[in-house]
Amino acid sequence: MRIPPGCTIGARGFFVWLGLATLAVGAVFFAGQNPSLAQEGWQAGVAAVKITPEPGLWMAGFAARDQAAQGTLQDLWAKALVLQDAKGRKALLVSADFLGFTRSLGEYLCTEIQRRWQIPRERIMLCCTHTHSGPVIEGALYDIYPLDDAQREKISRYTRWLEGKLVEAVESAMARLEPVALYAGEGTATFAVNRRNNREADVVKLREEGKPLAGPSDYRVPVLAVRRADGSLKAVVFHYACHTTVLSLYQWHGDYAGCAQLELEKRYPGATAIFCIGCGADQNALPRRTVELAEQYGQQLAQAVAAVLDGQMRAVPPRLEAHFELIRLDYEVVDRPTLEAAASQSTYVARWARRLLAALDRGESFPNWYPYPVQVWLLGDNQWWIALGGEVVVDYALRLGELYGSSTWVTGYTNDVMAYIPSRRVWQEGGYESGAFSVYGLPAKRWSEDIETRILAAVARGMEACRTKLAQP
């Protein structure tokens, strides 16, 4: 992990955090890989279903694309992990190989899960790999691409089919519950690069010369191991804060995250590997653009996870507490003069502007805030897992690590991906990652200046709510 000058973490706070983290590691009880050493009471079920579209569907993630997908290099998957604690309370993680859950798709899936299995909303976490070689989902990124009515219909049909496959994954996982033990740990992978501060052409030379890269990055690799009673690996969940943008082909592929999952499932037969992208909105794997590089980064990440799995990990007691909150994130509404100026451009920004101008001409008004999801899970007594919506920049993971310990896990792109989510630093600097509203279609010009303060306050409320629940018998 690198924290450069000017980041939200002060020098004094960093050394306090480092000392606390060192003490925590020294004091922890490592249970190794023997389930008998972990507290009994967990049950888990896991399942994976293929969600690879047919060729001809538009791909999500790069505005420069000018045609639909032409084929498949690597299948796409949706995966579900059900956890049941010693009190019989279930929690559910779903992760899929696409750009991210839209609010409507997330609401549909959560409604179905609550109706069929009575799992409350705070105990449902919807993640993604954010591969840029996956499909466009209904209602997302429509302004980026020149979609005609036929393409929109294809996207709608695929989304309806996808809804069924997501429910199928959950149903299959529910049917496969068995006694397990849970373990937590963190590894390290160093291929993430802050793309705001480093030119791709310079990265290889800087690394060869042993010179540091600029800007903050988070090299931690959180790992959750789910082991059967015989000690074999049933599932592994892992995170990394880096965009899945190595590939920009016209063929379906899970990018480096897909390669890492395949490698782990090869190394550990009978296990299901699940990737959840971290706070990597301003991070790229560099250099990129080839399948070989995607495989290389996938191998590096899989090796980092394997080193954790094959080493000593912390046992997680069989209790899970959760909190979910939709908070108000204000933004400055885009004005007509700005839209009129943008409408004359030749890029996707013009499509965004023309659509919003047409809405104004019809007499519509735009909201000035977005309901932003903040979720907190507490696994066992002290394993925090924080899930934030949108494309979250790396400062959030670093700041939350400073506040709550280096073993705090922070997942981005969770429950709803509606825009980029800047820290105060990135908000002040500006640039693409400060919003990118024309990409996602929001009628916004700029987030409110207090965006980081509001999100961190919501995380603190969620953690306090989980602590209160943990204290109850």
What is the reported pLDDT for 10?
39
Spell out the alpha helix ranges (H) of 331-450. 336-342, 348-361, 395-404, 424-429, 437-440
pLDDT in the model for residue 58:
93
pLDDT of residue 63: 84
User: What is the rounded (10 degree) CA torsion for 251, 240, 389, 382?
Assistant: 150
What percent of the chain has a predicted confidence (pLDDT) above 90?
Answer: 84
Q: Is the pLDDT of residue 19 over 50?
A: no
Q: Rounded distance, CA 236 to CA 220, Å?
A: 16
Name the burial class of residue 162, with classes exposed (0-12), middle (13-18) and buried (19+) by CB atoms within 10 angstroms of its CB: buried
β-pairing, 383-388 vs 409-411, is parallel
| 327-382: pLDDT as tens digits | 999 999 999 999 999 999 888 999 999 999 999 999 999 999 999 999 999 999 99
Cα separation, 56 vs 158, whole angstroms: 11
Q: Which two tokens stand for residue 462?
A: 């969620």
Within 13 A of 229's CA, how many CA atoms are on the CB side?
Answer: 6
Query: Percent of the chain beyond pLDDT 70?
Result: 92
**For residue 157, what pLDDT is reported?**
97
Q: Residue 37: what pLDDT?
A: 41
Angle 290-295-299 (CA atoms, 0-180°, nearest 5)? 150
The answer on pLDDT for 169 being more than 70 is yes
Inform me whether the pLDDT recorded for 280 exceeds 60: yes
Please give the residue that has the higher pLDDT: either 21 or 208. Answer: 208
pLDDT category of residue 455 using cuts at 50, 70 and 90: very high
User: What is the pLDDT averaged over residues 142-152?
Assistant: 91
pLDDT digits 0-9 by tens, 39-60: 579 999 999 999 999 999 999 9
Q: By three-state DSSP, how is residue 15 classified?
A: helix
Query: Nearest CA to 376 among 456, 275, 279?
Result: 456
The yes-or-no verdict on residue 84 having pLDDT over 60 is yes
On average, the pLDDT of the chain sits at 91
Q: Which amino acid is at 75?
A: D
pTM (two decimals): 0.91
Query: What per-residue string of b and e applies to 54-64 under the rule 16 or more CB within 10 Å gives b?
Result: eeebbbbbeee
| pLDDT reading at 324 higher than 80 | yes
For 139, left (φ over 0), alpha (ψ -120 to 50), or beta?
left
For position 2, what pLDDT does the model report? 42
Whether the pLDDT of residue 167 is over 80: the answer is: yes
The residue among 223, 215, 222 whose CA lies nearest residue 192 is 215
| Predicted confidence band of residue 34 (pLDDT cuts 50, 70, 90) | low
Structure tokens at 51: 């969600």
**Residue-level pLDDT at 168:** 98
User: Cβ neighbours of residue 229 under 8 Å, at least 6 residues apart?
Assistant: 35, 178, 179, 180, 181
How much is the pLDDT for 141? 87
Q: Which residues pair with 233 in a beta bridge?
A: 227
